[in-house]
Amino acid sequence: MSRSYFSNRRVLVTGGAGFVGSHLVDRLLESGDEVLCVDNLFTGAKANIAHHLNHPRFEFMRHDICFPLFVEVDAIYNLACPASPIHYQHDPVQTTKVSVIGSINMLGLAKRIHVPILQASTSEVYGDPHQHPQTEAYWGNVNPIGLRSCYDEGKRCAETLFFDYHRQHSLNIKVARIFNTYGPRMHPADGRVVSNFIIQALRGDDITIYGDGSQTRSFCYVDDLVDGLIRLMNSPAGITGPINLGNPVEFTIRQLAEIVIEMTGARSKLIEHPLPSDDPMQRRPDISLARDKLDWQPHIALRDGLEKTVSYFRNLLD
């Protein structure tokens, strides 16, 4: 049964030691919630949550959600899954398992204890889109058998499961489609474009771009994203999503590299490499639904967010 008779909620965050998950844990504790952080530490790190280990309302459990979990909580944020190509392609079978079997286990838990559950889905469900910007009604253009398919199709299947549990069992679900997010605590070796560029610039290395750098991305600072996730979780039960959460301001990869070089004072040159397989050429969210249903939009400009992120990686390297 739900623990709603307690003054504070007890909230489960799977993947809570990861980049986004740890920032979500911060915010939930600040709001007065109890937090059960579950992570198998495949890509998460105890360092991301070390400042909470002695907190009276925080509990850490090392656990892989591909195996059932029996706990009593009031809400579940399901963020467990490697999210960078380097990590999710390292063990693609396990990546698919955590999206599918892990989701089944968390949905089963939510059904048993009658609590709302939020799925951290991804803009990768749109694949290499033919629609721009991407709206939630777009079904996507995804290669089902490519190198990225373990993540893209795993997340698509997770969304299917969430909506089937909602229709079949009247489960209170929330599905957020997360676009490119950046900020402190990104894994320094995750291969994502923001961390890659900053690390290379701070080390004085040349910056690697794929193709000619004309492909576009939209970059959302992690604090803005966490605000969107919490607003979605706390929204009325009728708001299930999927809802795009991301920054609609679009930059080319080349522009991002030039901004990072300027902000770090690096003398790095841009080195072009061939495009990876199935790499999307455009990525920008239509966030009309988030504005309308959640009264949410990002507020932190790219340069402001990059300043904090560069400072984090500078300290990490020092």
Evaluate whether 165 touches 300 at the Cβ level (below 8 Å): no
**Cα–Cα distance list, 156 to 33, 145, 146, 160, 308 (Å):** 30, 13, 14, 6, 32
Mean pLDDT for the chain? 92
Scored b (16 or more CB within 10 A) or e, 165-190 reads: bbeeeebbbbbbbbbbbbbbbbbeeb
pLDDT for 7 equals 53
DSSP 38: E
Read off the pTM: 0.92
Enumerate residues 6+ apart whose C-beta is below 8 A from 292.
none
Of 161, 263, 162, residue with least CA distance to 207: 263
Mean pLDDT, residues 194-208 taken together: 93
Evaluate whether 4 touches 164 at the Cβ level (below 8 Å): no
pLDDT of 144-184, one tens digit each? 998 888 889 999 999 999 999 999 999 999 999 999 999 99
Higher pLDDT, 208 or 177: 177
Cα distance between residue 210 and residue 252, in whole Å? 11
The answer, yes or no, to whether residue 4 has pLDDT greater than 70, is: no
Q: What are phi and psi of 140, to 5 degrees?
A: 95, 170
Of 15, 36, 14, 6, residue with least CA distance to 187: 15
Domain boundaries defined on the chain = 10-182+222-246+284-299
Helix intervals (H) in the chain: 19-30, 85-90, 92-113, 149-169, 193-202, 222-233, 253-264, 288-294, 302-317
| Other CB atoms within 10 A of residue 307 CB | 12
In the chain, % of residues over pLDDT 70: 97
pLDDT of 274-289, one tens digit each? 877 666 777 889 999 9
Mean pLDDT, residues 235-263 taken together: 95
Residue 77 among the catalytic residues: no
Q: Which amino acid is at 165?
A: Y
Mean pLDDT, residues 231-250 taken together: 96
Marked catalytic residue, from 77, 88, 151, 165 = 151
pLDDT for 278 equals 62
In the chain, % of residues over pLDDT 90: 77
The answer, yes or no, to whether residue 84 has pLDDT greater than 70, is: no
Mean pLDDT, residues 24-35 taken together: 98
The answer, yes or no, to whether residue 264 has pLDDT greater than 50, is: yes
Residue at token pair 């500078």:
314
For the record, the structure tokens of 257 come out as 């590299």
Q: What are phi and psi of 17, to 5 degrees?
A: -95, 5
DSSP 285: B
Class of domain 10-182+222-246+284-299: alpha beta
Evaluate whether 136 touches 165 at the Cβ level (below 8 Å): no
pLDDT for 85 equals 73
At CB < 8 A and 24+ separation, what contacts does 48-55 make? 48/17, 48/18, 48/19, 48/21, 48/22, 48/185, 49/16, 49/17, 49/22, 49/25, 52/25, 52/26, 55/29
